Amino acid sequence: MKFYSRYVIYTAGDLIQSANNHSPVFAPSNRSSSISSALFVEDFISVQKEESQKILEKRHCPSGRLSPYLTILNQYALVNKSEPQIITTEPIPVIYFDTRVLWPKFEKSLPTTCPYRCIYTNRSEEATNASIAVFTRGPTSQMATTFADALWAFDSDESPLRMPSFSIFLTSHPSSTVPKPYGMYWANTQPECVMPANERARMRSHEDARRWLPPDMATKTRLVAWLVSNMYAVNQRKLFVAKLRRWVAVDIYGYRRLACPEPNCLEQLGKRYKFYLAIENSNCRAYITEKLFKNALRHNMVPIVMGGSPDDYFNLAPPNSYIHVDDFASPGHLAAYLRYLDRNDTAYASYFAWKGLGTIRKAPNTFCRLCALYHTTFRRSKPVHLGDFEVHLNPWNLCISPGRWPSDFASNRISFTPFLLVLILLSSCYSFVVSPLNL
C-alpha cells in the first residue's frame, strides 16, 4: 500500500527485512561510539587515509583546517592517473544502478574515460553477479534477493531530511564515501586547505578590488532575485524572504510569481541582478546545492545563503563569495548591508576576488570513482554493516528547526517526535519510510 501526503511515502517492510538478512561482502568493522553515531560514516579507506596523510606531511595549512573536499581531491588523483589499470585474471566487477529515482539519463552519465575497468548497468538481469548494487530508494524483495551477495550502496542528492534509513554511500555531503557535490571550489594553491580568516579580510580590503567587477555591471539595475518552485520548504524560507521584502526589493520568479525570462533564464537574471537568494529547502550541515555554485556564482550574482551552517560555507564555498543570513541580527540589518553594497562598487567587487585565486569545478565522474574504489579498497576493506540503520543514518542529528544556526548545535537539533509517533501508529499496519524525492 502507498500513502501520499506532502511527503512521498512508500512501504518499507521488504527493505527492512531484506537488509537485516543481507550479509555484507566483508565482516563489519569495529567502530568507536563517536564514529558509529555519525551520520555519514567514513568507512572507506585505508588507501585514502594514506593519501591524506601524505598531504598532511607535505604541507601545513595556515588556517589549521583541511578542506572538506580532500576526499574528492584524493579520488581525483586516483581516477586521473596516467598509467592504466593492471590487467588481471579476476573478473571485471559489475556495478548495478537502480534508476527509479536518480540517473534518468543513465547512458549519458557513464564515464568516457576511466583508468579502472568496470561494467555499469541499470538492467537487473545483466547484474546477477554484481559486485556493487546502488539503490536510489528501498530495494524491492526481488532486488534484495538478486543482489544478496553484492555490496549495497545508497545514492541521494537530497538533504538528510529527505533520505530514507539506509547506509550512506554516494551523497552531496563531503564526508560521503563517494561525495557528489553540486560544485566544488578548487584553489590554485593549496587546494587541500581552507583559506584562513585573515587572508579573507585582506581580500575584502584590497584597494584594487574594482577590477573584479562583473563585465555586465552596467546592466545590473535590480537588487535581489529569487528563483523558487517549492514554497513549503521545511526551513520555512518563505517567511524569511517575506521579512526581507519589508526592507528591500526582492523579485520572486517561479511558483505563480514572475515568469523567468527565456531563453537562458539564469543568464538573464545574472545580467539584471546583483544578488541571488541561494537558500536551501532544509537547514542541514554541509547541504549546499546548485543554488550557490550554478545559479548564483556562475552567473555573477552574489549569493545570499541559508541552509548549511556559517562554518559549512566557510569551508566549502569560494572565500568571500557569499553573504550568510546568520551573520546579521535581522533581515532589516541584512537589507541595510545590501543597500550599502549597492552604493559601493569596490565593496561589491570584493565578492568576486575569489576568481583570481581558484575556480569552481565539477567532481570527477561518480561511476569511475566508485569503480576505482572497488578495485583499490572495497575488495579488501570492511564496508558498513547494512542492517544497523540507526547507527549509520539519523537525519535529525545534522539538521535544525527553522531559525538561526545555534552555537550549541547539539541541543538545538530538529525535533520530529510528533511526526515519528504518527509513523509508529501507522506501522501497526504498515511500514513506512520517507522518499528521497525532491519535494
Got the DSSP string for 96-151? EE--SSS-TTHHHHS-S--SS--EEES-GGG-TT-SEEEESSPPPHHHHHHTTTSE
Q: Is residue 186 part of a domain?
A: no
How does the average pLDDT of the chain come out, rounded?
A: 77
Q: Report the 10 Å Cβ neighbour count for 249.
A: 12
With contact defined as beta carbons under 8 Å apart, do 326 and 404 qualify? yes
Query: Is residue 246 very low, low, confident or very high in pLDDT (cuts 50, 70, 90)?
Result: very high
Q: Is residue 126 part of a domain?
A: yes
Q: Check residues 143 and 48 and name the one with the higher pLDDT.
A: 143
With contact defined as beta carbons under 8 Å apart, do 282 and 399 qualify? yes
Q: Are residues 95 and 147 in the same domain?
A: yes
With contact defined as beta carbons under 8 Å apart, do 134 and 95 qualify? yes
With contact defined as beta carbons under 8 Å apart, do 342 and 223 qualify? yes
- What integer pLDDT is reported at residue 298 of this predicted model? 97
- What integer pLDDT is reported at residue 395 of this predicted model? 58
- What integer pLDDT is reported at residue 164 of this predicted model? 45
Q: From edge to edge, which strands make up the β-sheet containing 3-4? A: 3-4, 8-11, 432-434
Q: Are residues 113 and 20 in the same domain?
A: yes
Domain boundary among 326, 361, 396: 361
Q: Is residue 105 part of a domain?
A: yes
Cell of 436: 528521497
- What integer pLDDT is reported at residue 408 of this predicted model? 67
Rank 45-49, 224-228, 406-410, 422-426 by mean pLDDT and report only the highest: 224-228
pLDDT tens figures, 288-316? 999 999 999 999 999 999 999 999 999 99
How many structural domains compose the chain?
2
**pLDDT over 90 at 48, yes or no:** no
- What integer pLDDT is reported at residue 58 of this predicted model? 45
User: Taking CA 386 as the corner, what is the angle to CA 384 and CA 391, rounded to the nearest 5 degrees?
Assistant: 75
What type of residue is 415?
Answer: S
Q: Are residues 67 and 100 in the same domain?
A: yes
- What integer pLDDT is reported at residue 437 of this predicted model? 29
Q: Is residue 38 part of a domain?
A: yes
Query: Is residue 413 very low, low, confident or very high in pLDDT (cuts 50, 70, 90)?
Result: low
Q: Are residues 168 and 241 in the same domain?
A: no
Q: Are residues 129 and 151 in the same domain?
A: yes
- Residue 188 DSSP label: S
CA dist 158 and 160 (Å) reads 7
pTM, entire model: 0.77
Q: Check residues 187 and 207 and name the one with the higher pLDDT.
A: 187
Share of the chain above pLDDT 70, in %: 70
Q: Is residue 187 part of a domain?
A: no
- What integer pLDDT is reported at residue 398 of this predicted model? 77
- What integer pLDDT is reported at residue 391 of this predicted model? 35
Q: Check residues 330 and 28 and name the one with the higher pLDDT.
A: 330
CA dist 415 and 344 (Å) reads 42
Structural domain boundaries, residue 274: 195-361
pLDDT tens figures, 102-159? 766 777 788 888 989 999 999 989 998 999 988 887 788 888 889 888 888 888 776 6
Q: Check residues 232 and 391 and name the one with the higher pLDDT.
A: 232
- What integer pLDDT is reported at residue 10 of this predicted model? 30
Q: Are residues 31 and 81 in the same domain?
A: yes
Q: Closest Cα partner for 16 from 415, 427, 417?
A: 427
Cα dihedral sign, 241-242-246-249: positive
Q: Are residues 276 and 402 in the same domain?
A: no
Domain boundary among 361, 387, 415: 361
Q: Is residue 256 part of a domain?
A: yes
- Of 232-241, 253-262, 289-298, 355-364, least confident by mean pLDDT is 253-262
Q: Closest Cα partner for 304 from 335, 281, 270?
A: 335
Query: Residue range 263-288: average pLDDT?
Result: 94
Q: Are residues 266 and 216 in the same domain?
A: yes
CB hemisphere CA count around 70 (13 angstroms): 21
pLDDT tens figures, 337-395? 999 999 999 999 999 999 999 999 999 999 999 999 888 888 776 555 444 344 334 55
